[in-house]
Amino acid sequence: MKPLVECVPNFSEGRDPKIIDAIAESIRRESGVKLLSVEPDKDYNRSVVTFVGEPEAVKGAAFQATKTAAELIDMRHHQGEHPRIGATDVVPFVPISGVTMQDCVRLAHDYGKRVAEELKIPIYLYEEAAQAPERKNLATIRKGEYEGLPEKLNDPAWLPDYGESIFNAKSGATVTGARFFLIAYNVNLNTNDKDIAHEIALRIRESGRTIKDEQGNSIKVPGALKAVKAMGVLLERLNIAQVSINLTNYTMTPPHVAFEEVKGEASKLGISVTGSEVVGLIPKEALLMAGRFYCGVDAIEQNEQQLIQQAINRLGLSQFEQFDPQKKIIEYMI
């Protein structure tokens, strides 16, 4: 089996096509790598890039893309809806075939060490590459965002895993690691109230929310769905609020389960769901699961294409931009 690793770096630039194209081109130039998708978002001011290839080639392409981003993106002028800590915000390595999770952990270490040494960007390791339990969660590392990074770097508890505790004002910091295939999945609402979207996010995400009891003690109230991270955002260009979701293990919580949960919570708040979107690529099985769910007893009579189309229709994946299975399903792209 050919060893294949996926890399999905997120860059803090979603508005300047010249910068986005330059980052993409730095990946295309690497032999042994196939660039699968580049998805900029103007409201998030962020681009999600997906590429696959042989492990060493992917590691090299990730470094070259980070180097290009460090040259062209200045975090001192960055504004956007999405939390971020650096120009190259997060660089996950994902095992696809013929490689183990531990292989991807080693790639993250090698990449992080090189970025810290050559580009002078502090590196934090997360997920399966995390060196401490409190660093496993990306949101925990990114708390305070770029603006809070100088204070974080001065905190002995938050020394970088690679690099010095010196604030790089232009590039910020980068988080890298190894993880299971993540589906970036957003559900659209018929309101522009970001607070409502965030309330739904608090209700569905695994971490839930923190409340105070009668004695003033903090209590964690978990949300409804396992392996789900979520927050509310406002998409100004469309004037809608959105529940922005990361499905960290789609076999535990697939997109259709998250979609139906958001729909139910939205109804309780007097609003409705209008559609959804996948950012980046999605495994075929995740859509087949949705197709089978919505077809019910008739699923056995449907072929693969019909099940996928049913999922696209019922999840409203083409609400604002046509969902093309040939360009969005990773198995079809490789």
Tokens 């062209």 locate to: 72
The angle that helices 255-268 and 304-315 make with each other, rounded to 10 degrees, is 20
Is 82 designated active site? yes
Instruction: Write the secondary structure of the chain as one string of H (helix), E (strand) and C (coil).
Output: CCCEEEECCEECCCCCHHHHHHHHHHHHCCCCEEEEEEEEECCCCEEEEEEEECHHHHHHHHHHHHHHHHHHCCHHHCCCCCCCCECEEEEEEEEEECCCHHHHHHHHHHHHHHHHHHHCCCEEEEECCCCCHHHCCHHHHHCCCHHHHHHHHCCHHHCCCECCCCCCCCCECEEEEECCCCEEEEEEECCCCHHHHHHHHHHHCCCCEEEECCCCCEEEECCCCCCEEEEEEEECCCCEEEEEEEECCCCCCCHHHHHHHHHHHHHHCCCCEEEEEEECCECHHHHHHHHHHHHHHHHHHCCHHHHHHHHHHHHCCCCCCCCCHHHHEHHHHC
CA distance 207 to 226: 9
Joined tokens for residue 288 = 């087949």
Do residues 189 and 197 lie in contact, with contact meaning Cβ atoms separated by under 8 Å?
A: yes
CA distance 161 to 171: 17
Annotated catalytic residue, options 78, 82, 109, 198: 82
Catalytic positions, written as ranges? 82
